[in-house]
Amino acid sequence: MSDAAPSTVRSLRDETVAVLAQAGVPDPEVDADLLVGFVLGVGRGRVQALVVMDAAIDAEDAGRVRGLAARRATREPLQHITGTAPFRSLELAVGPGVFVPRPETEQVVQFAIDALRAVPSAEPVGVDLGTGSGAIALAMATEVPHARVYAVEKSPEAFAWTRRNVESVGAANLRAVLGDLADALPELDGAVDVVISNPPYVPDDAIPRDPEVRLFDPAVALYGGADGLDVVRVISGVARRLLRPGGTLVLEHGELQGAQIRELLTADGWRATATHPDLTTRDRATTALK
């Protein structure tokens, strides 16, 4: 970017858009707004208002935006730069070592929230296997406050973010557990109402195209074996152990994996398997009943 400090938010934003677009960043206009807003401490709408107003910006703030834009141009995730990722009503802390929650998962967790709300119990129990940042578990705990929620994560690096977010949100009804999901929570066997997971489901040889994913998301959160379903197979067994009869399983997965997952779950004894599209009409989640 130019060394000369732009005198207005408009010129700084235009400059930032150009740098990000040249680097191949998807939606450079959105990221430019968010970077400027991050430095100024305002939301995207306010940034756009400042552009229309042709508002001035001081050299120090402009320099900070340039520095952050240079990082984004290397395809470092925007969420790592700002240190936060929005998820439903939450603002979560994220960074190196943890999977950045995606917008499509906001729709997947709705299945678990709806299932928890439908349980005729004063304290329904939900479990998030492989919680990462804690996004799914925290959404369940905050949106179904009478539920008891458990969040399991085996990566110490990711679990540090889990704990940070649980403490920040202040969800007293959520318990974070460091451990392998394969043998998690034996004390809850047969007592859980909903199990949900966004497991690693990328086949080992299907390297993601986006540098933000390929270079920055932890491999343990991405790759699921030759067909991408190794962890799903484990979760099928664990969820059958944990859930009460009639309990609900919710799995996020890739758009081409629905049929194979339904077949896998049916073979394991699950009932009413169904695959659901996301807002882009791509298959994104499969649910089943024990």
Query: Per the annotation, where are the binding residues for substrate?
Result: 198-201
Q: How many CB atoms lie within 10 A of CB 163?
A: 15
Q: Round to whole Å and give the CA distance between 112 and 209.
A: 30
Q: Round to whole Å and give the CA distance between 54 and 42.
A: 16
Farthest CA pair distance, the chain = 66
Annotated binding residues for S-adenosyl-L-methionine, as ranges?
Answer: 130-134, 153, 198
Q: Round to whole Å and give the CA distance between 67 and 104.
A: 30
Annotated binding residues, as ranges?
Answer: 130-134, 153, 198-201
Q: DSSP E strands: which ranges in 54-197?
A: 84-87, 90-93, 125-129, 148-153, 174-178, 192-197
Count how many residues are written for the chain. 290
Q: Give the single-character DSSP code of 100.
A: P
Q: Round to whole Å and give the CA distance between 21 and 29.
A: 8
Count Cα neighbours of 22 within 13 Å in the Cβ-side half-sphere.
Answer: 9
For residue 79, the Cα-to-chain-centroid distance in whole angstroms is 11
